[in-house]
Structure 1
Amino acid sequence: MAREPLSVVVTAFNSAATLDACLASVRWADEVVVLDSGSTDATLAIAAHYGARIETQPFAGYSAQKQAAIELARHDWVLLLDSDEAMPPGAAEAIHRVLEQPAHAGYLLWRREWIFWQWQSPRSRLNHYVRLFDRRRARMSRHRVHEEVEVDGSVGVLDIVMDHYGERDIAGRVDKANRYSSLQVADLAGRRARGLRLRMLTNAWAAFFRYYLLRGHYRSGWAGFIAARIHAFYAFLKYAKLYEATRVESKETRIPAAERKDG
């Protein structure tokens, strides 16, 4: 039975450390598009080695960059990957079966996380994301971070577990928490200061509880504990930065002229 052709789209920037594994895992796709935003490492050479169609544009934000990559695809059915993700063996057969007669507008795929020096415990909860979809009925959300594919139609689930290499050390994860919390300030704008104070007091503890206990990352030993603490810090930081933004223009926080220092 004939199936829908598939485009794999990948956004990349200085992704040489992980792009090889990513592209090697999707050799079977009908088309692979890599949208690069100015890499200076071996990213473009790796993409060329795998025969990907390479496009470039300045980074437009996580959501907008991925939407641009989706629009570059030649086929309607798209598999969207980050450059630090890789598909498992057997993914081609499972996806090709679905594309023979798609029953949904999009499909969720599972993802396991590399936590610093080990894979998350197989008994901890996996994340899942819409990654396979008909682009005529889907587009990226407008969130500045934690962007996701929004589908106009039903969504199915595929028994496919992607590998996500993510931040491979603690410093990288802390840096990401800092960057993402700054980007979320605009998404969270409009919250009342009173509500922000309460969230600063409670959200970090709630985030730690969900990540470490409910999602089962306590089973990943010290790697899971450290990741949970950083996740909790991120939950605090995004509301602390938003609170700061609401105060920075007020009279009591404006630096008096006599106290300002140049440099």
Structure 2
Amino acid sequence: MSEQPFHSSSTHTPRSLIVTLYGAYGRDFPGPVPVAELIRLLGAAGVDAPAVRSAVSRLKRRGLLLPARTAEGAAGYALSDDARQLLDDGDRRIYGSRDAAGGWVLAVFSVPESERARRHVLRSTLTGLGFGTAAPGVWLAPAGLYEETRHTLERIGCSGYVDLFRGEHLGFTATADAVARWWDLSALAKLHEAFLDEHEPVLRAWQGRVDTPPREAYRDYLPALDSWRHLPYADPGLPARLLPEGWPGIRSAEVFRALDERLRTAGARFVQAAS
């Protein structure tokens, strides 16, 4: 997440998997998640105990996890308010519609030269939210991201530098051609293709089975979600009518939805059994 703390350029790191675990299942725990359970659950995904402890420490330093005791007195970690907000935003991206409609939200900003660091944070944040660049200081994204953009800019202390607008693209080039300038569609397509290369064979394997053992479901669902949850930030739900024919994001969304439907609930039974 840079200033989107749950957004990362790499997937399946211990820190990313911990975030994914909290996003998928951790909010259903009755209290803080015990450290022992984090180690057990991440161990089922191939992460050893030292890596879990190190990743938890980094998330704690960033203010996303808060040390707390369980009702039984065991050491554990709870989500901070900021972390919960970020996960809630992530839910809308991860499980929401991938075909945005209704125009665009524009972010127009100006940062004094003396505050270069602030400018970098602002640009990084807008990139992390999935904004494309129309011109220097003029960024845009599907209009449905307005609320998330607004409270994110407020949280990082940049709202005073930005004006937000809603609008439509009225020319002079075709909107599809403009979108190809505003976003690197080739790079986005490669991200969707990488997701399909890793997880479409997993889906095919499950489609050939009638049983859904909880541990195996959890083992396959956690990395699928870990891979997928980054994509709606890179590709913020650009309208399909504006994308190249055969856009792989359509298929990647179908594969994720199928894996989610098949595996998430069964995976929860494994988590609940371990807790």
Q: What is the TM-score of this pair, normalised by structure 1? A: 0.29
Q: Larger Rg: 1 or 2?
A: 1
Name the structure with the higher helix share: 2
Could you say which structure has the higher strand fraction?
1
Higher normalized contact order (CA 8 Å, seq sep 6+, divided by chain length): 2
TM-score norm. by structure 2 comes to 0.28
